[in-house]
């Protein structure tokens, strides 16, 4: 068996019983308050007083375990570009709830799937900025904070075909190559000088997944103490610091690209690092110049640029059983699976999905019960679980 190559996994789902109005692009409709209300009504599992919604991914990535938490502001903030999209835009109380919910779901997955040789367990945020066109491919939650939780069987990944090397979600339309080929060293050095107690820097080569060979060239940290450390507020403080460091790096780079602006923002989290490591780096300025010249000459490439911070931040279990944190830019693909070398091809197959739906839903309901016990929300009755138990829909195949 050839290992160390990105994989394309085929995942069946049921046809969504919702028609997209004529003249509306699919993603424009997916981001509409109408569709998001439908999402909660048909697939909602639990909602907190703050507005966090746990739901079943109707068109999922993994049919073993797949769920998301979004900060669902769609019914009160109708402008999709006015909705919070990052953790740093949450209040302290909202961030605490979001972190606690993330911890509970991660704990649940690690308990349910304890063997790293059998299962890949991970979660991550995939945030897109306000310059992301509404008619670009994406998911309903791209206009608000969302965390995606998944488990894949390693045997399924190993038996799946290799993904195309030029798959746009893996290459990020050349942006990933830019980071990997020209910015990897300075990016890792910029984030590597942060002082942590729970997160310990680890060489990316040591925490790659053997099956896919990913992640590639990204700063990575091992969670000292493993799953037990997720119960410490210090871990979540440091998890947020990783995001703040990334935001500083991204803004500094694209300020140079956009306007050759090398000023340090007044609200930068790490102003000294920006000046010492980035603005005095020839490599950093070379990459910014390359991007700027390409934007000036190539309208297609220019349209792909995300001028405001867009990122994927992951917490995953590697082959050795360690919990690893990593973060990357998000230029095209918004699925966190792609950062681990997994491209998901989702297909309509009612019968195949029906064979796995019961076990998937029962897992999610068990998780929901745990969140309720910990005072993290109240249950939602959906058509497939009206009374807290799975009810199979009528067969039409």
Which pLDDT score is estimated for 177?
60
pLDDT for res 1: 45
Question: Per-residue confidence at 29, pLDDT binned at 50, 70, 90?
Answer: confident
Sign of the C-alpha dihedral, residues 246, 248, 251, 255?
negative
Other beta carbons within 10 angstroms of residue 269's beta carbon come to 17
Q: What is the mean pLDDT of residues 88-114?
A: 97
How many CB atoms neighbour CB 351 within 10 A?
10
H helices within the chain, ranges in order? 26-30, 33-43, 92-112, 154-159, 168-171, 175-178, 184-192, 233-259, 271-273, 282-297, 299-304, 350-373
Give the C-alpha separation, 394 to 381, whole Å: 18
Return d(Cα 354, Cα 333) in angstroms, integer. 28
The pLDDT of residue 394 is 75
In this predicted structure, the answer to whether residue 128 has a pLDDT above a threshold of 80 is no
pLDDT of residue 144: 84
Asked if 270 contacts 248 with a C-beta cutoff of 8 angstroms, the reply is: yes
Q: What is the mean pLDDT of residues 22-31?
A: 79
The set of residues, in sequence order, having a beta carbon less than 8 Å from that of 90 and lying 6+ positions away, is 71, 84, 98, 145
Residue-wise pLDDT for 169-210, tens only, equals: 775 545 556 666 678 789 888 988 888 999 999 998 899 999
pLDDT, mean of residues 246-256: 93
208 CB-near residues (< 8 Å, 6+ apart) = 4, 214, 215, 216, 318
Q: DSSP character for 258?
A: H
Confidence of residue 397 (pLDDT cuts 50, 70, 90): low
**Average pLDDT for the chain:** 89
Comparison of pLDDT for 161 and 166, the residue scoring more: 161
**Banded pLDDT at 143 (limits 50, 70, 90):** confident
Task: Select the more confidently predicted residue: 80 or 118.
Answer: 118
pLDDT of residue 133: 64
Mean pLDDT of 129-151: 74
CA distance 225 to 121: 17
Cβ atoms of residues 59 and 67 within 8 Å: no
């Amino acid at each position: 068996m050839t290992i160390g190559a990105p994989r394309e996994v085929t995942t069946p789902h049921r046809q969504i019983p919702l028609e997209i109005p004529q003249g509306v692009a699919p993603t424009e409709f997916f981001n509409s308050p109408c569709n998001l209300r439908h999402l909660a009504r048909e697939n909602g599992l639990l909602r907190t007083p703050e507005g966090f919604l746990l739901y079943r991914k109707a068109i999922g990535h993994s049919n073993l375990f797949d769920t998301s938490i979004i900060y669902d502001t769609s019914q009160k903030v109708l402008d999709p570009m006015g909705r919070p999209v990052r953790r740093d835009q949450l209040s302290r109380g909202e961030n605490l709830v979001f972190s606690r919910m993330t911890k509970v779901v991660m704990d649940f997955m690690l308990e349910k799937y304890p063997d790293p040789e059998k299962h890949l367990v991970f979660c991550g945020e995939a945030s897109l900025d306000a310059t992301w066109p509404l008619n670009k491919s994406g998911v309903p939650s791209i206009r608000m904070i969302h965390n995606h939780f998944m488990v894949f069987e390693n045997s399924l990944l190993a038996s799946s075909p290799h993904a195309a090397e030029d798959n746009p979600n893996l290459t990020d339309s050349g942006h990933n190559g830019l980071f990997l080929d020209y910015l990897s060293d300075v990016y890792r050095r910029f984030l590597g000088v942060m002082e942590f107690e729970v997160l310990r820097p680890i060489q990316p080569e040591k925490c790659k997944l053997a099956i896919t060979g990913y992640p590639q060239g990204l700063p990575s940290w091992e969670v000292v103490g493993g799953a037990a450390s997720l119960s410490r507020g210090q871990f979540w403080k440091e998890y947020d610091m990783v995001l703040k460091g990334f935001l500083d790096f991204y803004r500094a780079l694209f300020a140079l690209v956009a306007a050759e602006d090398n000023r340090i923002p007044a609200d930068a989290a790490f102003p000294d690092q920006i000046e010492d490591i980035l603005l005095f780096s020839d490599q950093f300025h070379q990459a910014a110049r390359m991007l700027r010249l390409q934007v000036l000459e190539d309208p297609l490439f220019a349209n792909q640029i995300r001028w405001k911070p867009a990122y994927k931040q992951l917490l995953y279990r590697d082959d050795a059983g360690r919990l690893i944190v990593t973060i990357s830019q998000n230029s095209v693909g918004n699925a966190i699976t792609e950062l681990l070398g997994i491209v998901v091809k989702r297909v309509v197959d009612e019968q195949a999905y029906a064979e796995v739906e019961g076990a998937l839903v029962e897992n999610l309901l068990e998780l929901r019960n745990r969140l309720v016990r910990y005072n993290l929300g109240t249950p939602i009755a959906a058509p497939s679980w009206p009374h807290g138990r799975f009810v199979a829909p009528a067969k039409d195949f």
